[in-house]
Amino acid sequence: MFKENRALKRIYENAPPGLQSLALSCIGLKIRLQRYGKLFRKHTRNLLTNQYNTAAQWERMQYEKLCAIIKYARKEVPYYSFLNDISFKGASVHDVLDRIPILEKKTLRDKYSRLKAKGLKKMKVIELKTSGTTGMPLKTLHDINSHSLYWAAIHRMWIWAGCSYGDRRLSFTGNKIVPLDRKNTSYGRVDKSNNRMFMSSYHLGPETVDRYLEEIIWFKPVFIDGYPSSARYCAARALDRGMDLGIRACFPTAEMLLQHDREIIEKGFGTKVFNQYGSAESAALITECPAGRMHINPEIGIVEVLNEKGKRAAPGEAGIITVTALNNRAMPLIRYSTGDLAEGSPVYRKCECSREMPYVEKVIGRQDESVLTSDGRRIPMLSYNVIKWTDGIIESQIIQNSINDFELKIVPHREKYNPSQADKAVEKLKEYVGPDINVRIEVLDKIPRSSRSKFRAVISRV
């Protein structure tokens, strides 16, 4: 939470749990004002009203919003000046998109300043950072309206599951809310501003899991979100102990949800899992309905699933998720290739849940693995916390060959990189996994890809 300010980080780490919770509540208040204010409530009402639109209404709405964002982008965003040479009159959504080139992650990074809107200074803007599924540090800008709308769409999924913002919420987080060297302590910190308890994913292991369950019972969450690997670990222990926690719903985020994980979470927590797919770029959102369909939220963005030839994927065919944000005026992303995978192109067909929101057959993306520590902990989404705060590393890959032997492959930025960046990454890696690990650094021109031009940011061979 305080990674960018070392003084505040030291104060936080040395504070007792109660003061750490107070600090998180202060941060939570800022988030509540940005994310869950009047706009959020307004957007939630509209989203609940619109959710039973017909397929024809969705397609018409997306066409109109797509034309509007293109008109705005070619006038206000320097990068999109080439759109002035393209005619969109009388075209359908797919006809329009087919005329626009794919926006790659590398372009987003290299042309960052040209992708910002000219009137940025007049907007209320939020900057979000991510290392993504490829270990490639990225940041994007979002106006308050689009940011709030995105979270209102997530809220709509919570409501589908019988939950709501303000209900007690437990989040398994990748943020190091509890210092790594703390033992025999509480592993949750409460953000009272959002009625939310964060639980450390970094301390979870055989010796601590029962303490986690005690804290979950004490907090009595209505629903859970966060890393599915952490939720599964706790649920498996609850199952072993024959506990009945009666949690209403679980919303996994940030990692690939495996079917085996889903089954354990549902049995162990006595809950129902609702999967979701989104990203820090907030260009599109896919959420699971009570009938088990992965619905695209049409108000947020357009989703394409493109095969290796750049064509829309056939049923059962895997392709890259490519998204177009329909609301963000601070930094519009049009035909942005996420690098994540899904099966089949979106289908406009009435679902068993009675909604005609388009859906995809299956989301495959987010293949990051967790690493195993010598004391039995599982560390998920490690690349996010190791590489996120380095400026001179373009791409990275962490490979665990044995419990204490790691490789850190990096692609340096020609101008910004210096060896201290790699040292900082190693320091972070040891901070999260343990001080005794061995890390071999390999500097490359490019991280090797798979046949699908994709690689995992974290690979564990343990």
Checking if the pLDDT of 451 tops 60, the result is no
Given this model, what pLDDT does residue 298 score? 97
Average pLDDT over residues 65-79: 95
Residues 425-448: tens digit of each pLDDT: 899 899 889 999 999 999 988 777
Residue with tokens 């800022």: 30
Q: Which amino acid is at 411?
A: V
Checking if the pLDDT of 453 tops 50, the result is no
**Reported confidence tier of residue 449, pLDDT bands at 50, 70, 90:** low
Checking if the pLDDT of 262 tops 50, the result is yes
Give the range with max mean pLDDT: 123-137, 307-321, 441-455. 307-321
**Reported confidence tier of residue 286, pLDDT bands at 50, 70, 90:** very high
Given this model, what pLDDT does residue 368 score? 47
Q: How far apart are CA 92 and CA 112, in angstroms?
A: 29
Say what percent of the chain tops pLDDT 90.
Answer: 57
Average pLDDT over residues 222-242: 91
Given this model, what pLDDT does residue 447 score? 79
Given this model, what pLDDT does residue 411 score? 84
Q: Which residues pair with 408 in a beta bridge?
A: 398, 441
Pairing of strands 405-412, 438-443: parallel
Checking if the pLDDT of 20 tops 80, the result is yes
Say what percent of the chain tops pLDDT 70.
Answer: 93
Q: Are 151 and 40 in contact (CB under 8 A)?
A: yes
Cβ-based neighbours of 122, under 8 Å, separated by 6 or more: none
**Reported confidence tier of residue 452, pLDDT bands at 50, 70, 90:** very low
Given this model, what pLDDT does residue 146 score? 95
Residues 400-431: tens digit of each pLDDT: 999 999 999 998 877 778 888 888 889 989 98
Phi first, then psi, for residue 51 (nearest 5°) are: -65, -20
**Reported confidence tier of residue 179, pLDDT bands at 50, 70, 90:** confident
Q: 3-state SS of the chain?
A: CCCCCHHHHHHHHHCCHHHHHHHHHHHHHHHHHHHCCHHHHHHHHHHHHHCCCCHHHHHHHHHHHHHHHHHHHHHHCHHHHHHHHCCCCCCCHHHHHHCCCCECHHHHHHCHHHHCCCCHHHCCEEEEEECCCCCCCEEEEEEHHHHHHHHHHHHHHHHHCCCCECECEEEEECCCCCCCCCCCCCCEEEECCCCEEEEECCCCCCCCHHHHHHHHHHHCCCEEEECHHHHHHHHHHHHHCCCCCCCCEEEECCCCCCHHHHHHHHHHHCCEECCEECCCCCCCCEEECCCCCEEECCCCEEEEEECCCCCECCCCCEEEEEEEECCCCCCCCCCEEEEEEEECCCECCCCCCCCCCCEECEECCCCCCCEECCCCCEECCHHHHHHCCCCCEEEEEEEEEECCEEEEEEEECCCCCCHHHHHHHHHHHHHHHCCCCEEEEEECCCCCCCCCCCCCCEEECC
Q: How far apart are CA 165 and CA 154, in angstroms?
A: 10
Q: Given strand 188-191, what is the order of strands in its sheet?
A: 188-191, 196-200, 169-173, 223-226, 249-252, 272-273
Given this model, what pLDDT does residue 450 score? 52
**Reported confidence tier of residue 399, pLDDT bands at 50, 70, 90:** very high
**Reported confidence tier of residue 161, pLDDT bands at 50, 70, 90:** very high
**Reported confidence tier of residue 1, pLDDT bands at 50, 70, 90:** low
**Reported confidence tier of residue 356, pLDDT bands at 50, 70, 90:** very high
Checking if the pLDDT of 165 tops 90, the result is yes
Checking if the pLDDT of 135 tops 60, the result is no
Q: Which tops the pLDDT comparison, 460 or 101?
A: 101
Q: Which domains does the chain have, with CATH numbers?
A: 6-35+162-273 (3.40.50), 38-158+277-363 (3.40.50.12780), 371-460 (3.30.300.30)
Residues 37-54: tens digit of each pLDDT: 999 999 999 999 999 999
Q: At what angle do helices 38-50 and 144-160 cross, to 10 degrees?
A: 50
Pairing of strands 286-288, 276-277: antiparallel
Given this model, what pLDDT does residue 130 score? 73
145 to each of 48, 67, 126, 328, how far by Cα in Å? Answer: 17, 19, 10, 8
Q: Are 368 and 133 in contact (CB under 8 A)?
A: yes
Q: How far apart are CA 199 and CA 388, in angstroms?
A: 20
Checking if the pLDDT of 89 tops 80, the result is no
Given this model, what pLDDT does residue 396 score? 84
Given this model, what pLDDT does residue 68 score? 94
Average pLDDT over residues 287-299: 97
